[in-house]
Amino acid sequence: MDDRLKKQLNFILEIDKLKNVFRQTHLSGKGRNENDAEHSWHMAVMAFLLKEYSNEQVDISKVMLMCLIHDIVEIDAGDTYAYDNKKLKSQSEREQKAKMRLFSILPDDQRAELIELFDEFEANNTVESKFAHAMDNFQPLILNNSNNGGDWREHNVTISQIYKRQNMTKSGSDVLFEVTDNIIKENIKKGNLATDE
């Protein structure tokens, strides 16, 4: 086996660990906590199915690949819950370190390509990254809504916290933000989101 293939196979085995990184979000139907691999796969399929709702035309293959790789760093950095203000402070530092270790397993050209794609997602300043971020926000929202807001109640998520995160969906999809806004308003009425004091 040549060195290039060996590195690629090593990376493929390494990313299998993503299946053991569990998120705070539960599967629909009040199932167990989802793992990062499931979240990423779900986002990628959603991106393909919902691409017509992007604010601008996107390279959907690029968006789907962003969705698939954006959480690989959590193998080392761990999952950071979207509303955990303490862990959010160190998230970037932990993920940058993880990015370098994990993607460096690959051959140089693929390492550079995936780091560039990861960095584009994180910068959130291209049409593709904005739509990928919309998927990253929308996916747990619809799962949580299907579970009657259980994760929000469990973590005492406030109305301002959820809007701060979900307002970013607008830059990727006005249509999906409208759906998001309706879901949030329904959950406020049900008492699933804490009021800000």
C-alpha pair distances (Å), 79 with each of 23, 33, 35, 99, 183: 6, 12, 9, 14, 24
For residue 197, pLDDT beyond 80 = no
Distance CA 101, CA 106 (A): 10
- What is the pLDDT, as a whole number, of residue 82? 84
Pairwise CA distance, residues 55 & 103, whole Å = 31
For residue range 69-119, list pLDDT tens digits in order.
Answer: 999 999 999 998 888 888 888 999 999 999 999 999 999 999 999 999 999
pTM here is: 0.95
pLDDT, one tens digit per residue, over 2-27 is 999 999 999 999 999 999 999 999 99
- What pLDDT shows up at residue 196? 82
What's the confidence (pLDDT) of residue 127?
Answer: 98
pLDDT tens digit sequence for 121-174 = 999 999 999 999 999 999 999 999 999 999 999 999 999 999 999 999 999 999
d(CA 55, CA 91): 28
**CA separation for the pair 4, 111 (Å, rounded):** 12
Looking at residue 86, what is its pLDDT? 86
Structure confidence at residue 88 (pLDDT): 85
